Structure 1
């Protein structure tokens, strides 16, 4: 009887051995919470105003539901941001995210077509940017949100040069 287990197999599917993960900026959580407040604040105020003006008791369930959702998002978003990480390896880029539903995206440098760096007004105010990698397959595009602008520029340049080097060999 032979042992079919592999001693070099990673202990966790989403945490390969020997990978140094780089976390995203915690300011991403602030950006997402501000967007939540912008959307949920008016809903909460409208629900409270409607319930108070009509004096119908069951209408208070709507603002209570919105408030419960805001509390849930406030607890969940920082945990989600802490779970987001990326790693550069010799031949590919790894992007990991998720708490309950985990995702690990592996993008070989030779498959990259171009790299985008974006930052909206709120992201610029908070000092963060996003890097998006595009490949020939739309299913394998990877996005890294919440990077400091200097890191986003460094990563963009490094990924572009690595992608060109890998494509030159084809």
Structure 2
């Protein structure tokens, strides 16, 4: 038994770093899109990892969009939705950077997503409440510096490159 005790203690100690490394990571994606063909340019978040407190596995993504892509978007607020991308679509997007979240930050991200999703009425506005504003709100929850230059409000990739530059600690490379 005395020979087994050090081995058991080593195995037990080896389990603690794994538990301590549990975390959820939030990645920030853009899709180039096309105003004329297919999908419009878009930005969204991807949440992956494990909650430290419960061990629950997280694999989710959320983006904010107009419910219908019509010219009504150009005239003012329209009905909105939270979009969830299919896994195969994620591989064709630009991953700009990833940040770790505490369990508390993860819960705040989910609560904020639900608030945007469940807002009554017409909540999507191309210039004041679009996918960039949604993703920016999530970035602020993660402690990132965010602003919304008017010339970037319809250019998700350019805007996320801008956010990368505002937050050099991310070490994110500019995506062309």
Give me the TM-score of the superposition, normalised by structure 2. Answer: 0.25
Q: Report 1 or 2 for greater relative contact order, CA contacts < 8 Å, sequence distance ≥ 6.
A: 2
| TM-score, scaled relative to structure 1 | 0.26
Q: Quick check: which has more Rg, 1 or 2?
A: 1
